[in-house]
Amino acid sequence: MRFEEPGRGHALRILPLVHAVLAEAGLRLDQLDALAAGIGPGAFTGVRIGVCVAQGLAFGAGLRVVPVNTLEALAMQALDNPQRAGREVLACLDARMGEIYWSSLRADPARGVIAVDEARVDKPPRASLAFAQRDLFGIGRGMHVLQGLNLWNGPCEADALPRAEHMARLALLRLAHEKGLDPADLQPLYLRDKVAFTESERAAGAR
């Protein structure tokens, strides 16, 4: 298992990491059953690179792909703690531009986790209306945004990031019940099309 947070260098690091993990396991890519693919939400460039790399590797090796969204992976990470068994989780990432990506999820025997509130992008005050009165455990760096606006004072792991091990475990569970996708059918989960403000929009926001 490998984990890095390389920032802008992820496009250069991803394939060497794939080769390192395969070498450690003593496997070739075409000996795998399928690939778990993180589809977002997240930074536009990172999501696009991840999906394209998964498609390229799967096409080359003749593999199916199993899509897993990053909020599901965060929820799986939170639910690894047996003290949270049966609890609902708020998975939350900083979407920048004054917004958060969020979803509430619970454990599910067949799929690992299942959404109670589907993944969405929202302004924090609007999002908080949906979960303010619920007993949730929060996870993900979007929790820092909520805390900074005094919209969250419950238990959380605010520094957590989605990890490949949880994506792999979710994909393995789902592969047992589903066939996975043809790599051509793999789609990113952007949740929004707009990824930056124009100069006039930034000026208006500053007023």
Instruction: Give pLDDT tens digits for 68-102.
Output: 999 999 999 999 999 998 899 999 999 999 999 99
pTM (2 decimals)? Answer: 0.89
Position with higher pLDDT, 193 vs 181: 181
Domain residue spans of the chain: 8-69+162-206, 70-157
CATH architecture of 70-157: 2-Layer Sandwich (3.30)
Q: Look up the CATH number of domain 8-69+162-206.
A: 3.30.420.40
| pLDDT tens-digit series, residues 106-152 | 999 999 999 999 999 999 999 999 998 899 999 999 999 999 999 99
Identify whether the C-beta of residue 136 lies closer than 8 Å to the C-beta of residue 128: no
Measured CA to CA, the distance from residue 125 to residue 177 in angstroms comes to 38
Can you read off the two tokens belonging to residue 57? 């590797």
* b/e burial code for range 37-74 (CB count within 10 A of at least 16 → b): bbbbbbbbebbeebbebbbebbeeeebbbbbbbbbbbb
pLDDT for 201 beyond 50: no
- Answer yes or no: is pLDDT of 5 > 80: no
Q: Which helix (H) or strand (E) holds 67?
A: strand 64-68
What average pLDDT does this structure show over 186-207?
Answer: 62
Is there a shared CATH topology between the 8-69+162-206 domain and the 70-157 domain? yes
- Min mean pLDDT across 9-23, 49-63, 128-142, 170-184 is at 9-23
| Residues 100-122 as b or e (16 or more Cβ within 10 Å = b) | bbbbbbebeeeebbebbbebbbb
